[in-house]
Amino acid sequence: LAKTTQPISMDSYEGQEVNITCSHNNIATNDYITWYQQFPSQGPRFIIQGYKTKVTNEVASLFIPADRKSSTLSLPRVSLSDTAVYYCLVGDSTGGFKTIFGAGTRLFVKA
Amino acid sequence: DTEVTQTPKHLVMGMTNKKSLKCEQHMGHRAMYWYKQKAKKPPELMFVYSYEKLSINESVPSRFSPECPNSSLLNLHLHALQPEDSALYLCASSQESGGDQETQYFGPGTRLLVL
């Protein structure tokens, strides 16, 4: 399984763009990259998923370079409510249902 | 309806008790999961059911016993737990055949305290 490495924590201010980078050097050819958000005492919530290049939805953008050994979650104009833990996951291309969460990045947005 | 519900929200039990956690989804998903999450740690996969059959057991102690009575329900039976089993237990579901690209929908969790 590809292991992921993320910064332990990040601070930001309201209205700023936040970029969280995840390293996954051993990503396999068929693996997708998925990001989840988790608030305290709640279950994780899907944010975005991608395979290569750039993916954008109403919440975030995901940038994946050509070698796919890293990815960057971009949150535009964060607000206080974006304070949460963000997890980067790389799938198990051998198939099945295994989901291995990395340590996650604690984002703290200040006023 | 994109909701996964879990009951109870909180549970306190002694080490000799038997209790059950329940999870329900009505999205027609055929894969369901149990995770354990300790404070300030990521969720850890415990069990996966696919089409009501246990497909993954991540070497979980036998004091945790999962059950999938039908495609919408998932139970976790607890017996003779230890204080170190205190954690947030999360249930999730995904659409069909699994695979890393499937989005998992998580419930709010059951916070368990073992005394």
pLDDT, averaged across chain B: 92
Q: Do the Cβ atoms of A104 and B42 come within 8 Å?
A: yes
Beta pairing partners, A50: A33
Query: Which residue out of A97, A98, A101, A108 would a mutagenesis test of the B interface target, given it has the greatest number of B Cβ atoms within 10 Å?
Result: A97
Interchain contact, B103 vs A97, CB within 8 Å:
no
Provide, as residue numbers in chain A, all residues whose Cβ is less than 8 Å from the Cβ of B109.
Answer: 41-43
Question: B45 pLDDT exceeds 70?
Answer: yes
Q: How far is A111 from chain B (nearest CA, A)?
A: 24
Region A63-83: mean pLDDT is: 96
Which residue of B42, B94, B99 is in closest CB contact with A95? Answer: B99
Which has more confidence, B89 or B2? B89
Q: What is the pLDDT of residue B99?
A: 58
pLDDT above 70 as % of chain B: 94
User: How far apart (Å, rounded) are the C-alpha atoms in residues B63 and A34?
Assistant: 32
Instruction: Compute the Cα dihedral for B50, B53, B58, B63 and give only its sign.
Output: positive
Which residues are CB-contacts of A94 (< 8 A; sequence separation ≥ 6)? Answer: none
Task: Quote the pLDDT of residue B98.
Answer: 56
Q: Determine if residue B68 is left, alpha or beta; phi over 0 gives left, psi from -120 to 50 gives alpha, anything else beta.
A: beta
Interface A-B, measured as beta-carbon pairs within 8 A, has a size of 70
The burial of A104, by beta-carbon neighbours within 10 Å (0-12 exposed, 13-18 middle, 19 or more buried), is given as buried
CA distance A89 to chain B (A): 9
B6-29 residue pLDDT tens: 999 999 999 999 999 999 999 999
Read off the pLDDT of each residue in B41-49 and give the average, rounded to a whole number: 93
A96: confidence class by pLDDT, cuts 50, 70, 90: low
Name the band, by pLDDT with cuts 50, 70 and 90, for residue B111: very high
